Amino acid sequence: MANPLAEPISLNTGSQVNSLAFSADGHWLAVGVDANMAYLWDMTRLTARPFGFQHDRDVEQVAISPNNRWLATAERQGQVQLWSLTGETSLPIILAGTTASVTDLFFSADNQWLVAASSKRTVHLWPASAQASDSISLSRAIPPVAITSDGLHLATSSANNAPLMWNMADTNAAPIALQGGGGPILALTFSADGRRLAAGSEDHTVRIWDTTQLTNSRPARTRGVSPSGGFQPKR
pLDDT at 72: 95
pLDDT at 166: 94
Q: What is the C-alpha separation between 229 and 104, in angstroms, rounded?
A: 32
Dihedral angle sign, alpha carbons of residues 222, 224, 230, 234: negative
pLDDT at 158: 92
Tell whether pTM > 0.85: no
pLDDT at 224: 42
Check if the beta carbon of residue 194 is closer than 8 Å to that of residue 153: yes
Check if the beta carbon of residue 117 is closer than 8 Å to that of residue 123: yes
Q: In tens digits, what is the pLDDT along the chain, a chain of 235 residues?
A: 556 556 888 999 999 999 999 999 999 999 999 999 999 999 999 989 999 999 999 999 999 999 999 999 999 888 999 999 988 777 898 888 777 889 999 999 999 899 999 888 889 999 876 555 667 888 889 999 999 999 999 999 999 999 999 999 898 899 999 987 788 999 999 999 999 999 999 999 999 999 987 743 344 444 443 333 323 333 3
State residue 211 phi and psi, 5-degree precision.
-75, -10
How far does CA 138 lie from the centroid of its chain? 15
Residues in the chain, how many?
235
